[in-house]
Structure 1
Amino acid sequence: MSGTQTVAAEPERKSADPGDVSLPPVDPEFQELGGSGMAAKYGLSVAGKRPNPVAYARRLWVARHFIITWATARNQALYSGSRLGQLWQVLTPVLNVGVYYLIFGVLLGTNRGVPDFLVYLVTGVFIFNFMQTAMLYGSRAISDNLNLIRALYFPRASLPIAITIIQLQQLLIAMVILAAVALAKGEPFTWHWLLIAPALCLQFVFNTGLALLVARFGAILTDTSQLLPFILRTWLYGSGVFYSIKKMVAQHPNVPGVITWILDHNPPLMFIQVIRDQLIRVPASTDPKVATDYANAMYVPAHAWLWLVFWALVVGIGGYLYFWQGEETYGRG
């Protein structure tokens, strides 16, 4: 019919499905560039992305005032709940030395053949304790500060570094005690004492690397802080803190040469022996046995300072890189 109008068929309508949660159409530009392309186009970056090691070191340098202030505040708060307060920073190392002197020097007689055994012992206890406490507290650097980590952004390596600074501050007090003991025992003050400062600087780098290493272990495995005391106790007895390792080895000639070499180049022992060598002046003796005992007790491996630099760089840089690799994971989960 001429009067009839043709009506275009309407597309079939689907009934509204309450379960239909289709997303709106994707922006073609976003689809073309992709997520990473959009981020690059507008200068965006992933939240909490780990910087490269050099940039991370720069961030740590920028945060240096925070690290030192936090370390100092924590150090001052350590004994705030005790009646004697900061005096424990002096009493604790003194009491430790007293116990070790009674057990090893008096009861077990390890002082025989060792020159100026009290200075020898005090040096070993203080230097090893510096490493030991840095590792013990460093292993809990992340787990003990989760609220701070989740509330604020800062380079997470700041925490184990600050903990090592705390232990350095306490060591400096202990070194004043050590100097007083050495002078009281008749050791002369010589220019060799000045070499203790670079030795402690190298040990600080070494200890910081260890603290960073165990801090990441502690963040992954919470039992790390429970296992460390057993490891450190074994390390303690193998580091000549209470007796001469060289003298003990000399009494057992069947010990393999490789074991002797490992013991002689054990990092804590090397730091201890180098510092002992600066403090203790061994008197000349015409008795061959006495001379041999003294030589064994004060033995310092050849190129000891180069070994200290080696251990500081290898452990310091290695611990830093290992901790840096886990930067994005700390405080999550």
Structure 2
Amino acid sequence: MKEAWTLIKEQIQNIGIIFRISRYEDKAEYQSHYLGLMWEYLYPLIQIGIYWIVFGVGLKHGNATHGIGYLPWMVIGITPWFFMNRVTLDASKSIYERVGMVSKMKFPVSILPTIKVVSNLTTFWTMLVFTILIGLLNKVYPTISWFEWIYYFICMIAWLIAFGIFNSTISVLIRDYKILLQSLMRMLFYLSGVLFNFQTNAFPAPMVRVLELNPFFYVVNGFREAMFNQGHFWEQGTLNLVFWGFVLFFLLVGSHLHYKFRSRFVDLI
């Protein structure tokens, strides 16, 4: 627990550095491209268009989900997923890619995964605005439950920081872990309720209960329930405990491994 508190304090004490480096990374990543940062927004929009045509028009024939059009239902789920997927993969490589910075200067290495969280926030906010516009065009209007997005946003950030510090450390210790994580995230894309609703009679009840324990599903489904006013987070007693249990577990294990091996990162890489 002491190591987890140390990790949290490092994030708070270096918040200025986190935002400065994240802004630099945003500009540096696409500086050689003609459209520059526009790709941050074009890529997810292209992906949304493809998934809507294939799953919304092709397979579902535009059918509604719980009385809600498939397009707004899908977009509100895919928005946090795109963010979490990219941050998870970027954070897992954050220490490995910054070995030069780690070896040549005194630097709070634990903030590297958090930098990846912050650097991707611009795309997330843009996608959320796009989601709201899609909702309004499909007669989904704001309600008081939209304020619950604040809670699910906090959940999402907490989960990504905890999972990120764990993945970034394991990726240094075990080189093959990055490949395994990529495969896992591809599988979770279909098991997190992003493109289809598995909370139906088509799936066995025990299977649904297991899939609901997925932290990524908790966030995706939470954003959906808040937008469509289909429930409140305080009604999800067991799932709340399971989710925050996952966050605490990865935070404790990740911070322990991070501080145990941090002095050896350069040699391991």
Is the pair's TM-score, using the shorter chain for normalization, greater than 0.5? yes
Conserved 8 A contact 2:79-2:124: yes
Conserved 8 A contact 2:163-2:251: yes
User: C-alpha distance in 1, partners of 2:64/2:138?
Assistant: 17
Is residue 200 of structure 2 the alignment partner of residue 266 of structure 1? no
Give the 3 Å change call, closer, same or farther, for CA 54–204 of structure 1 in structure 2.
closer
Residue identity over aligned pairs, in percent, reads 18
In structure 1, the gaps of 5 or more residues are 1-50, 283-294
In structure 2, the gaps of 5 or more residues are none
Give the 3 Å change call, closer, same or farther, for CA 168–103 of structure 1 in structure 2.
same
Q: Deviation at 1:187?
A: 0.9
User: C-alpha distance in 1, partners of 2:145/2:5?
Assistant: 36
Q: Deviation at 1:98?
A: 0.5
Which of 140, 144, 169 matches 2:97?
144
> Structure 1, residues 257-307: CA drift from partner, whole Å, max 9, x if none?
2x331112221111111111111257xxxxxxxxxxxx9xxxx97325555
The two structures have a TM-score, normalised by structure 1, of 0.72
* Aligned counterpart, 1:320: 255
Conserved 8 A contact 2:169-2:254: no
Q: Deviation at 1:147?
A: 0.8
Which segment is superposed worse, 304-313 or 135-144?
A: 304-313
RMSD: 2.6
User: C-alpha distance in 2, partners of 1:279/1:56?
Assistant: 33
Give the alignment of 1:206-245 within 5 angstroms.
206-245=159-198
Conserved 8 A contact 2:62-2:70: yes
Q: Deviation at 1:161?
A: 1.2
Give the 3 Å change call, closer, same or farther, for CA 170–313 of structure 1 in structure 2.
farther
Higher helix proportion = 2
Q: Deviation at 1:170?
A: 2.2
Give the 3 Å change call, closer, same or farther, for CA 185–324 of structure 1 in structure 2.
farther
Is residue 115 of structure 2 the alignment partner of residue 162 of structure 1? yes
Conserved 8 A contact 1:142-1:331: no
> Structure 1, residues 33-61: CA drift from partner, whole Å, max 9, x if none?
xxxxxxxxxxxxxxxxxx95544543443
User: C-alpha distance in 2, partners of 1:111/1:330?
Assistant: 51
Please give the secondary structure, in 2, of the residue aligned with 1:332: helix
The two structures have a TM-score, normalised by structure 2, of 0.87
Is residue 84 of structure 2 the alignment partner of residue 131 of structure 1? yes
User: C-alpha distance in 2, partners of 1:193/1:317?
Assistant: 31
Which of 45, 60, 67 matches 1:94?
45
**Larger Rg computed on CA atoms:** 1
Conserved 8 A contact 1:265-1:301: no
* Aligned counterpart, 2:36: 85
